[in-house]
Structure 1
Amino acid sequence: MKTINVNKLKSVGCEVKIVVADWFAKLNNKMDTDMKKIRVVGEYMIKIWKAAGMKLENVEFLWSFDEINKRAHEYWHMADICQLGMDQRKVNVLAREYYDVIKRKNKPIILSHHMLPGLLQGQEKMSKFDSSSAVFMEDEESKIKKAYYPPRIIEGNTCLEYIKYIVFPWFNEFKVERKMENGGTRVLTLMKNLLWIMQKVTCILLKSALSHALNKILQPVRDHFETDKDAKDLLKKVKLLAGLQSYKMMQELLNKL
């Protein structure tokens, strides 16, 4: 969604500064609070956004640790608009209230994006720390087959959320391929066609169409990390760090038993 949101802002003339949250990762004890390791993961995220098609003209990547240290006496002077997820709305409200305390005008506009639910039932928010809840670059179509899709229910329907907030903004359409005897291929261009989806398309067909669309988005990213030497080396480092992190978490859990 980061690429989609940034490209939307760019399309209306915004200059975008993406502040990578390395300082907050350290505060939350990620990667053993080792800033070098955290930066490796941050660089990996930046490469993914670029490979996914983020329009980079007038887009600048900053590190929160550096910005806080360089500008400790200032208060995010560079932002007219703060673009974060709905899960950060309380922080955004606090930021605007703080402007009153320090007697500054021109409070930042808060632009909150929708939060995707996890793939499985009961997962309120997708999390990169829970592999069952999110779609990653290397994931196969089988993962979407397990996604939550309650028949004829729109509210909280994970598959429909992905169609609405990922597929439609990316392609401006959602294609469902069917055999001619079953009505033929149907290309939907409006989300109001949701009712048709719910009534006419089986769970298996819808998930297959969703998997195909997500793969079209992810394949250029996979190709980049397969063919670009720097990206390939970075991916190896991230996988190594992820493996070490998982091992340490397992050891900590065993020690508590």
Structure 2
Amino acid sequence: MTGVLCRLLIVKENCCRFCPIGLRNLLEKKPTRPICYDGFEPSGRMHIAQGVLKSINVNKLTKAGCTFKFWVADWFAQLNNKMDGDLNKIRTVGMYFIEVWKASGMDMEHVEFLWASDEINKKSGEYWTLVMDIARKNNLLRVKRCSQIMGRAESDEMSAAQIFYPCMQCADIFFLKADICQLGMDQRKVNMLAREYCDLTKPKIKNKPIILSHHMMPGLKQGQEKMSKSDPDSAIFMEDTEQEVRRKIKKAFCPEKIVEGNPCLDYTRSIVFPKLGKVTVQRKEEFGGDVVYETYEQLEKEFVEGQLHPGDLKAALASCINEILQPVRDHFEQNDEAKKILAKVRKYKVTR
């Protein structure tokens, strides 16, 4: 197996959609490390998908030879009225996010955190010229189709500030000279806007950004397509206590023998196996004794066949999640600066 193919296989794990030909060409031909981009709004406490799953995906990309640029979207959070638009609170939440990733196993050697407000102010002429050009080349209807990136629906009433948001996020990709956009499926429409923009410029931009759209993890309750920060029981947060994790997992939706729409199986597949490599289910001898699952496929098969009971799966999942989160808890308990940041964030009211 060639080095490029190995790198390609590493990157494609957990991707819902991506262009293998474009990605392979990039990995083969670019003489320097490809630049990956992801942006995040500092918008409250971090749930496990943002924390652990993000770390897993970032580590895969840096291992494949990429440099990862995190765009700390403080101005974007202000535009989207997060933390009631209080930029000081938004900056504090951004620092909290960075502390979580440091503690969650993210390899920081090829990772940069760039604050949007700082970077834009350094090159304001370049940035706003780009934003205006993207805005001029698209109509309002096309921009509003990107409203999902802000957690909004197209039918929602939006402020004039929120209309800026998609054009700015599209501009970020080119401003950072990103080769790869590594974001969740909910961000796909603005990534497509960026690729469309490449055809609208004169001359056209030949090297379009490659989109890696990653799986969105569901909430813990029945029918929740994604976690909600405004509903604490719908998500596991990165500094939840052991007791909170066990309580939330115990209450989680987990229909017997059913895979589709089962958040407990989703967490096991997307987080536990990539992070720990196995799941140990502890049972009394009368119920078959302990069993160690080395692959997700093996676990799912026995769950569907009824050999693995939802109650046993939940107990094992809670233990695994607690093992994964313990270094984060320790960091916020033992590091004085991190502890102060978390205490502030916990007092903030999450605003939609």
C-alpha separation in 2, matches of 1:87 and 1:129: 18
- Given that 2:223 and 2:261 are in contact with CA atoms closer than 8 Å, whether structure 1 keeps it comes out as no
Please say if 1:152 is aligned against 2:257.
Answer: yes
CA distance in 1 between partners of 2:196 and 2:228 (Å): 29
Give the superposition deviation at 1:152. Answer: 1.1
Q: Which residue, out of 313, 316, 327, partners 1:220?
A: 327
CA distance in structure 1 between the aligned counterparts of 2:82 and 2:61, rounded to whole angstroms: 30
Once superposed, which parts of structure 1, at least 4 consecutive aligned residues long, lie more than 3 Å away? none
Output the amino acid matched with 2:200. V
Alignment of 1:208 with 2:260, yes or no, is no
When structure 1 is superposed on structure 2, of 125-134 and 105-114 the one drifting more is 125-134
Number of the residue aligned with 1:252: none
The aligned residue for residue 170 of structure 1 is 275
Matching residue of 1:126: 227
User: Which of 82, 98, 109 does residue 210 from structure 2 map onto?
Assistant: 109
Q: Report the CA distance between 1:185 and its aligned residue.
A: 1.7
Shift of 1:174: 1.7
Cα-to-partner distance string for 1:202-228 (whole Å, 9 max, x where unaligned): 121110000000000111101110111
State the Cα deviation string for residues 33-87 of structure 1 (Å, max 9, x = none).
1211101001101100111111000100012233334341453342110000011
What's the offset of the Cα at 1:129? 3.2
Q: Counterpart of 2:227 in 1: which secondary structure?
A: coil
Question: What TM-score results when the alignment is normalised by the length of structure 1?
Answer: 0.90
Please tell me whether residue 79 in structure 1 is matched to residue 154 in structure 2: no
Distance (whole Å) between structure 1 residues aligned to residue 320 and residue 197 of structure 2? 43
One-letter code aligned to 2:279: F
Q: How many Å separate the matches in 2 of 1:41 and 1:77?
A: 22
Amino acid at match of 1:121: Q
Deviations 1:88-117 (A, max 9, x none): 111111111011112211111101110000
2:185 alignment partner AA = M
Q: Which residue of 1 aligns with 2:344?
A: 237
The residue aligned with 1:197 is: 303
Deviation of 1:21 (Å): 2.1
Map of 1:138 onto structure 2: 240
After TM superposition, the score normalised by the length of structure 2 is: 0.67
Larger CA deviation: 73-82 vs 47-56? 73-82
Change (3 A) 1:63 1:129: farther
CA distance, structure 2, for counterparts of residue 132 and residue 23 of structure 1? 29
Gap regions ≥5 residues in structure 1: 250-257
How many residues are aligned here?
Answer: 245
Note if 1:98 corresponds to 2:197. Answer: yes
Which SS does the other structure have where 1:17 is aligned? strand
Q: Report the CA distance shift for 1:147/1:67 in structure 2 as closer, same or farther (over 3 A).
A: same
What is the percentage of aligned positions where both structures have the same residue?
Answer: 56
Between 1 and 2, higher relative CO (CA 8 Å, sep ≥ 6) is seen in 2
Q: Which amino acid aligns with 1:113?
A: H
Determine which of 24, 28, 53 is the counterpart of 2:80: 28
- Secondary structure of the residue that 1:84 maps to in structure 2? strand
Structure 2: tracts of 5 or more residues without a match: 1-52, 131-173
In structure 2, the CA distance between the partners of 1:56 and 1:134, relative to structure 1 (3 Å rule), is: same
